[in-house]
Amino acid sequence: MKKVFKYLASPLSILLFAASANASLMLEFINPTGTAAPDESIEVWVRLSTDMDFYFDSTDPDGDLTFGNLNDFGVDTPTQSFFGGANNGAGERLDIVDFSRVFISHSFLCTGSFTDGGCTKEGSNYHFTFNPTVTNQIDFTPSFSLFAGQSVDYLFGTFDPLNGGAMPDFYEFFGAGLSVGFESVGVDSFGVRHTNFEFRNLAFTCDGVQDCSFSRNVQAVVSEPSSLSILTLSVFGLGLLRLRKCNKRKIK
């Protein structure tokens, strides 16, 4: 089954890849349910944890193309990739001869009612933006490690309402992901070098979990009477009461 993702590596592009379950590295939503106002920006916080030591090193210090212990987490370094520009644009699957870079990157699944328009703003009530601070903490860093039993909480990104405010409704989405990206190099039969991205999933929210989502019940704001209005009403009522008493005295 294919899933459509928005990558932090390229926020404007939509990529396809097969997501795989991972038993050791886990990504879960923090505060997955709640309420919000139509004009409120909604933050998505996640927790990354592991039940065994995880380490990533983009420099591949051992020289065995494992880039840390990715193999222990079900990530095999790709050996081939499809290069669309190979052979004068005809495209061809080639052996990978080198990697321009290897990096960790987050992804956002472009489905769910928050973003009915997919990864674009058209037709959506919200637009999703990655948290740029994550880039400094995890994404594109030369190395990253997490010890067994350790976890880290962080802001994954934010849903910002469009058109002045979202329609009151129930909204949800399912997919925050963490992947390894391989910027791969191949050489076609004409001797021309080409590059392509291969992604391998490390962790994914709601992976294999039923009834799992990040959701918010967006409710219309009911304005309360202002203090001034209440005071005015009270003064008016008091004056009316005095007038009625005066009228009664005059009648007598």
pLDDT means per 10 residues in the chain (252 residues)?
44 34 78 97 96 94 91 93 92 95 92 82 88 87 94 96 94 93 95 95 84 94 61 51 41 36
pLDDT of residue 231: 53
Domain ranges of the chain: 2-221, 226-252
Residue 192 CA, chain-centre distance (Å), reads: 36
For the entire predicted model, the pTM comes to: 0.77
Q: In angstroms, rounded to a whole number, what is the distance separating the alpha carbons of residues 217 and 141?
A: 36
3-state helix, strand, coil in the chain (%, to 5): 15, 45, 40
